[in-house]
Amino acid sequence: MLNKKRDDHIRLEDWHTHNRFCRHAEGTIEDYIKKAIKFNLDLIGISDHFPYEYLRNSNLRIEQVPFQEYAMRLNEVDSYLSSIEELKLKYKDKIQIRTAFEIDYFRSHEVDLEKEFYSRVEKLDYILGSVHILHGRSKLFAFDDKRFLKMYKEYDSIDNIYLEYYQKIQNMIHSDKFDFDVLSHFDLPKKYNKRAINKDLVMNEAIKTLDLAKKADLTIEINTGGLRKEINEQYPSYEIIEKMHELDIPILFGSDAHHPNDLGYKFDKMLKIVKKIGYSNLAHFNKRKRKFIEI
C-alpha cells in the first residue's frame, strides 16, 4: 500500500518495529531498513524488546512468562546498539534511523532495571514504555500471548484485566525510576477481541491514565498492530484518541512490525483518522528530545 510514491509531502515515520533480536520477529534490522526505504518511509525507529532477564532474580512465579522468547539477551544489548549505529551510517542518505527499546515495566524490578539499563541510555533516541505482563491471582502471565489466555479465567471479569492493566500503566507513569517517552499500544487488553463489559468503569480508568500521561508530558503511540489482530482496530480506539486530542496529548505512529512487510501498516488510513479527530502534527524524537512534524 505504501510502495507507491506519495503525491504529497507528508512525512511518514514508523516508531515501533521489532526484528530478529527478540526471537519472535522475522528479519534482521537491515531487512527492516531496506523495506522501510522501499515503502518510502521517512524514518524507522528500531525499538526491539528490552531483555526480561532481570525477572529471573524474582520471587514471583514466571513460568507463564517465557521471556527467552520475548526479547534479546542482556549480553546482546551492546551488539544490538552497535548494529543500529553502523546501519545509521550506511543508510544515512536514504532514511532516518532512530535507536530505541520497548521496555516492560515491573514495579518490583525498577532497581534491577536501573542497574542493567540506564548506563546505556545515552545511545537511545526514545523509549517505548509497555505493559505485557499481569500478576494474575497466582502467577505472572503474559496476557497478550495466546498460549496464556486460559489465565483470564482467574479473573471474575475481563474488566478486572483492564483495571489491573491501567493500574500498572499508572504505576509506570508515577515511577521516578522508570524513565520513558512514549506509551505503547494503550488499550492492549482488547487484542483478542476482549471488549470491556462495564464500558464506563473501564473508560474512566483509561481517562484517569490519560490525565496522568498528560501531566507527565508523555507521547502516546497510535499502534496499527491491532489492525492485524482479532480485534481489527488500532490501539487505542477512536474514542480514546478523541479524548487524547481533547487533552492535547502528542501522538506518533507505530506499526509494531514483527515482519518487514508490516512496516507503515495502514498509516495512510490512520493519518485520515487522526486528522479528522483534529490532530495537525505528530511527535518526532531525536536523542530523547521531542519535536513535532506537520501532517
Site residues, Zn ion (CB under 5 A) = 18, 130
Shortest spacing between CB 2 and Zn ion, in angstroms: 21
Helix, strand, coil distribution of the chain in percent, nearest 5: 45, 15, 40
Q: State the Cα–Cα distance between residues 244 and 250, nearest whole angstrom.
A: 8
Of residues 95 and 257, the one with the C-beta less far from Zn ion: 257
- Work out how close the CB of 11 gets to Zn ion at its nearest, in angstroms, rounded to a whole number: 24
Q: Is 39 helix (H, G, I), strand (E, B) or coil?
A: coil
Q: Grid coordinates standing for 10?
A: 507528508
Q: Please list the alpha-helical segments (H only) found in the chain.
A: 29-38, 77-90, 110-117, 158-174, 199-215, 238-246, 267-277
> Is the CB of 226 or the CB of 250 nearer to Zn ion?
226
Please identify, using beta-carbon distances, which residue of 17 and 96 lies nearer to Zn ion. 17
What secondary structure letter does DSSP report for 187?
T
Locate 39 and state its grid cell: 515503502
CA angle 97, 99, 104 (to 5 degrees): 140
**99 or 130: CB nearest Zn ion:** 130
Burial (CB < 10 A; 0-12, 13-18, 19+), residue 174, is: exposed
The nearest distance, CB 131 to Zn ion, in angstroms, is 9
What's the closest the beta carbon of residue 223 comes to Zn ion, in angstroms?
8
Between 40 and 170, CB nearer to Zn ion: 170
Q: Which is nearer to Zn ion, 18 or 190 (CB)?
A: 18
* Shortest reach from residue 141's CB to Zn ion, in Å: 15
Question: Minimum Å distance from CB 47 to Zn ion?
Answer: 9
Supply 193's cell numbers. Answer: 477481541
CA nearest neighbour of 40 among 5, 80, 89: 5
Closer CB to Zn ion, 83 or 255, in the complex: 255
Let me know: does 230 contact 192? Beta carbons within 8 Å: yes
Q: Give the nearest residue (CB) to Zn ion.
A: 130
The CB-of-135 to Zn ion minimum distance in angstroms stands at: 18
